[in-house]
Amino acid sequence: MTLGTEPVPDPPYPFPHKQKATAHMVQESNAQPVAHGAQFDGLRAARETTWATQLTRHAGCTPDAVAIRFDGRSITWRQLRDRVAQLALWFVDHGIEPGDRVALLLGNRPEFLETLYAATSLGAIAVPVNFRLASDEVGFILADSGAKVIVTEAAFEPLVTAALTDLTAAPTALVAGARAADATRIDRAFEYHEAVSKSGAPEQPLGSGSGQDAAAIMYTSGTTGHPKGAVLTHANFQAVTDTMIRAWRLFEDGEITLAATPLFHIGGLGAINGPFATGATIVIAPTAAFDPNTTLDLIAAENVTSTFMVPAQWQALCAAPDAATKAATLRTLAWGAAPATHDLLAAMSRIFPHANITAVFGQTEMAPVTCVMTGDDSIRKTGSVGRPAFNVSIRVVDEQMRDVATGEIGEIVYRGPNLMREYWNNPDATKAAFDGGWFHSGDLVRCDDEGYVYVVDRKKDMIISGGENIYSAEVENALAWHPRVREIAVIGRPDPKWGESVVALVVPADPDAPPTLAELVEFSRETLASYKKPRELVLLDELPRNATGKVIKNVLRSHVESLAGTVGGGR
């Protein structure tokens, strides 16, 4: 019996490539090509840990086990391997070579993972694209990455068509999903189902290149301008996979994880890498507005044991009266991407008393996890993002890269095997990010005497008033508890006397009974020093957010400037 590989000799490697040199590449170039007719070195490939080699191992060990569940349909590991291999052949037939970029503008569906694994099995680089972006933003990413192929779905053809309008070199399009007769169609697009529908298993193993090859370019949210593309390697993703296996306690057979957040986002993608590596079943929740009852029904129907969701999702799910019953199979509840309140964490502990409640924190450039918090610490250390992951080194430093004392505020900087290789096509940003030999996160934090990290603010959002540093996140956290506040953001406005003054922008819980500035100041009397309290209040119908849900503070600053200093300014 052969485990972990195909019980057949390695056939000739069928992917003829030509070495393609590109100016942006650093010395860690992507997979070296194999000359046509040469033997595929299966032994060498088997020593690597990439998505393709993991897939090959699972297809050899447990070929008939379920790899993916989607919309009531199962895909086994053997079927997934075969579909990925067929898609890889299609990519080769359409000119994809090592180092080429393949864009993915897809919702949560099996085709996302198939495309990810097929492209990277060739040494190509995947470029997940947020389908909530505007067409100009999508166009920027396609142009900046130089994507040679874009894989999308019928529902997003109007967006892709608009994004391709101004590109001088439009990528080849491959479209998944059924179209309506009158639907917008991308010119000269190919059909996805035809690319993976050849009968029989392809006669070749998957996998080329090494762990140091680029696997994906993940574009940051771009709240202050154009997004930057973080180049992440297979080794980066594997380092975080090791962290997730440990934090999520993925040590038992029969693990079933629910992909409930967007796969195009580093958080959604990172959340499935641990389960994928261990051969668990991944249940993909179709792209739709989050509904707690639908999610609970899916958890119950699929016997889900682990999932990652943002606090707002957990809040809605825990508020459902039958959450404990329908989600009784959950062993790991993971959360991150936003702060969780003490009340929410207490509710999660009460409703799921035997579950492992895990917080993960990080950023795109770290693939993304840097800090983890599990168990009772979620309550005991409410407000913390945890301690550094076992394979991540941190420092908290001042502007001169000197370590600050315990409890003092500084920028958290990182080293570790999950740290990105570079920013794509952006050497200046790369140099700035790695200044001093550490990666500069832009997050201002403090650490307590047990090593727990507390995020105070983004460095660029810090307000300096009268020579004092004011951290917007601290003010936001203090005022968010006011019963008349639904959402709040805090920024600094230029002030001729103080340098900057604090402005609170509030979405009222009840539009007909908004809070007043005086009420907010009085409410924060016990929690904020006088100089930190807001001097202005602006009421809004909603906070401007980018496609990943982050508040866009430069838009808020422009709005406040337009109000010409009106204290308590209206909508």
* pLDDT, tens digit, 9 for 90 and up, residues 381-427: 888 999 999 999 999 999 999 999 999 999 999 999 999 999 999 99
In a domain, 446, yes or no: no
In a domain, 368, yes or no: no
Percent of the chain with pLDDT over 70: 88
Q: Six-digit token pair at 290? A: 């989050």
Between 26 and 150, the more confident residue is 150
Instruction: Give mean pLDDT, residues 156-170.
Output: 93
pLDDT-based confidence at residue 1 (cuts at 50, 70, 90): very low
Q: Could you tell me which residues are beta bridge partners of residue 545?
A: 551
CATH number at residue 39: 3.40.50.12780
Last residue of a domain, one of 227, 260, 293: 227
Sequence letter at residue 407: G
Cα gap 537→569, rounded to integer Å = 6
Instruction: Give mean pLDDT, residues 119-145.
Output: 94
Pairing of strands 485-495, 463-465: unpaired
Q: Is the pLDDT of residue 183 over 80?
A: no
Cα gap 278→218, rounded to integer Å = 24
Q: Could you tell me which residues are beta bridge partners of residue 332?
A: 306, 356
Q: What are phi and psi of 506, to 5 degrees?
A: -120, 135
In a domain, 354, yes or no: no
Q: Is 285 helix (H, G, I), strand (E, B) or coil?
A: coil
Q: Six-digit token pair at 293? A: 């009852």
Last residue of a domain, one of 200, 227, 254: 227
In 303-450, which ranges are E strands? Answer: 306-309, 332-336, 356-362, 369-374, 387-388, 393-397, 410-415, 422-423, 439-447
Q: What is the mean pLDDT of the chain?
A: 87
In a domain, 204, yes or no: yes
Domain that holds residue 557: 462-562
pLDDT-based confidence at residue 478 (cuts at 50, 70, 90): confident
pLDDT-based confidence at residue 202 (cuts at 50, 70, 90): low
* Residue whose tokens read 């770290």: 366
Instruction: Give mean pLDDT, residues 465-476.
Output: 85
Pairing of strands 387-388, 369-374: antiparallel
Angle at 273 between CA 296 and CA 30, to 5 degrees: 150
Instruction: Give mean pLDDT, residues 541-546.
Output: 86
Cα gap 132→138, rounded to integer Å = 9
pLDDT-based confidence at residue 29 (cuts at 50, 70, 90): low
Of the candidates 427, 106, 59, the one whose C-alpha atom is nearest the C-alpha of residue 265 is: 106
In a domain, 190, yes or no: yes
CATH number at residue 558: 3.30.300.30
DSSP 248: H
Instruction: Give mean pLDDT, residues 14-30.
Output: 41
Burial class (CB in 10 A: 0-12, 13-18, 19+), 165: exposed
**Model pLDDT, residue 178:** 84
At a CB cut-off of 8 Å and minimum separation 6, what does 169 contact? 146
Q: What is the pTM of this model?
A: 0.84
**Which of 148-162, 210-224, 330-344 ranks highest by mean pLDDT?**
148-162
DSSP 63: T
pLDDT-based confidence at residue 377 (cuts at 50, 70, 90): confident
* pLDDT, tens digit, 9 for 90 and up, residues 225-241: 688 999 999 999 999 99
* pLDDT, tens digit, 9 for 90 and up, residues 502-538: 999 999 999 999 999 999 999 988 888 888 999 999 9
Q: Six-digit token pair at 309? A: 């969701």
At a CB cut-off of 8 Å and minimum separation 6, what does 464 contact? 470, 492, 499, 500
* pLDDT, tens digit, 9 for 90 and up, residues 310-328: 888 998 999 999 999 999 9
Between 516 and 379, the more confident residue is 516
pLDDT-based confidence at residue 25 (cuts at 50, 70, 90): very low
For 2-54, give the secondary structure using H, E and C: CCCCCCCCCCECCCCCCCCCCCCCCCCCCCCCCCCCCECCHHHHHCCCCHHHH
Instruction: Give mean pLDDT, residues 121-144.
Output: 94
Q: Residue 93: count other Cβ atoms within 10 Å of its Cβ.
A: 10
Exposure letters 402-417 (e unless 16+ CB within 10 A, then b): eebeeeebbbbbbebb
**Model pLDDT, residue 222:** 58
Cα gap 326→312, rounded to integer Å = 19
Q: Is the pLDDT of residue 11 over 50?
A: no
pLDDT-based confidence at residue 3 (cuts at 50, 70, 90): very low
In a domain, 335, yes or no: no
How many domains are contained in the chain? 2
**Model pLDDT, residue 392:** 97
Pairing of strands 149-153, 172-176: parallel
Last residue of a domain, one of 208, 227, 246: 227
Cα gap 264→112, rounded to integer Å = 8
pLDDT-based confidence at residue 111 (cuts at 50, 70, 90): very high
In a domain, 351, yes or no: no
**Model pLDDT, residue 35:** 36
**Model pLDDT, residue 109:** 97
**Model pLDDT, residue 146:** 97
Instruction: Give mean pLDDT, residues 540-567.
Output: 78
Q: Is 492 helix (H, G, I), strand (E, B) or coil?
A: strand
**Model pLDDT, residue 498:** 82
Cα gap 57→45, rounded to integer Å = 11
Strand order from edge to edge, sheet including 214-219: 190-191, 172-176, 149-153, 101-105, 125-128, 214-219, 229-233, 422-423
**Model pLDDT, residue 225:** 64
Burial class (CB in 10 A: 0-12, 13-18, 19+), 158: middle
pLDDT-based confidence at residue 152 (cuts at 50, 70, 90): very high
Cα gap 99→74, rounded to integer Å = 32
Of the candidates 114, 183, 175, 123, the one whose C-alpha atom is nearest the C-alpha of residue 149 is: 175
**Model pLDDT, residue 134:** 86
In a domain, 293, yes or no: no
CB 176 within 8 A of CB 106: yes
